[in-house]
Amino acid sequence: MNEDLTLIGMEKGRQYETIISTKNEDGSKNAAPIGVIYAGNDKIIIRIFKGSHTLDNIIREKEFIVNITHDPELYTISTLGNLPQDYFEDDGSIKCMKAFFKCEVIRLTEAVKQSDPIKKKDEAIVIKAKVTDMTVKEDVHALNRGFGYVIETLANYTRFDIVGDDQKEEYIKKFKEANRVVLKVGTKEDIKSMQIIKKELMKKGYEP
C-alpha cells in the first residue's frame, strides 16, 4: 500500500510536529511529542533520545502510531508526564484525532544530529519507518514550525530601524536561531522567505 503523506500537507524532507503513541511492555499505552521527517512516498524518519519509553517501546514492538493534532494541551501533558489511558482509542491512536497513521520500523541507526545545539555522542537513535495504514477523518495539515519563525522574524524586522543597538543585536541573534530552525524544519517557501529577509539585513550592514 502506498500511503501518501502529502494528503496531510507533508513535504518531503521537512519536519512536522506530531504525537507518537506506542504500546508499553505491560500492554498500556504511551504518548510523546516527536518531530516526524517525511522521507517521501510512504517513508518517514524520526529521531528519539535514548532512555525514553517511546524508544524502548518502538525497539520492542517495531511499530508505532503518528497522531496529527494541533491541540497544545495534548503536547504539554504528554511532554510533562504520561497521557492518561482514557485519552487513547483501543487501536492505540489518541482519541479525537483528525488524522493518524500506523508505522512499521524498517531500520534503527545510532546518530548525532549535527544541526542540534545540544550535541552529544550516542545520545539518539534514528528510526526509518514505513507507513502501513493512514486514517484521515477531517482535512488537517501536519504542523510545521517554520512559518511561525518567519512571522516572528518579520515582526522583528519591522522594528529593526526604530530600536537601539542592543536590541538590534538581539534581533540578529533571534534571526540566526529562527533561520537554524527554518532550515531544519521549514518548507521551501519558509526557507526562501528567510533568505529574502537575510539579504535585507545584509543591505543594512549586518551579518545575520
Q: What x-and-dash track marks residues 112-131 binding a second copy by CB under 8 A?
A: ------x-------------
Q: Specify the residue, 73 or 86, whose C-beta has the smaller distance to a second copy.
A: 73
73 in contact with a second copy (CB under 8 A) = yes
- Given candidates 2, 26, 27, 80, which one binds a second copy under the rule CB under 8 A? 80
**Stretches 21-29, 107-115, 128-136, 149-157: which one binds a second copy (CB under 8 A)?**
149-157
Q: Which helix (H) or strand (E) holds 109?
A: strand 99-111
Among 7, 39, 59, 77, binds a second copy (CB under 8 A): 77
Which grid coordinates are listed for 188? 521551501
The pairs formed by 51-59 with CB atoms below 8 angstroms and a separation of 24 or more are: 53/22, 53/24, 54/20, 54/22, 54/30, 55/125, 56/25, 57/22, 57/23, 57/24, 57/25, 57/30, 58/22, 58/105, 58/127, 59/108, 59/125
Q: According to the binding rule CB under 8 A, does residue 165 interact with a second copy?
A: no
Which of 21, 42, 146, 171 touches a second copy by CB under 8 A? 146
Per CB under 8 A, which of residues 21..60 are in contact with a second copy?
33
First to last CA, the chain: 45
What are phi and psi for residue 26, nearest 5 degrees? -85, 10
Q: Give the interface with a second copy as residue ranges (CB under 8 A).
A: 17, 33, 70-73, 75-77, 79-80, 118, 139, 143, 145-152, 154, 157-159, 162-163, 187, 189-190, 192-193, 196-197, 200
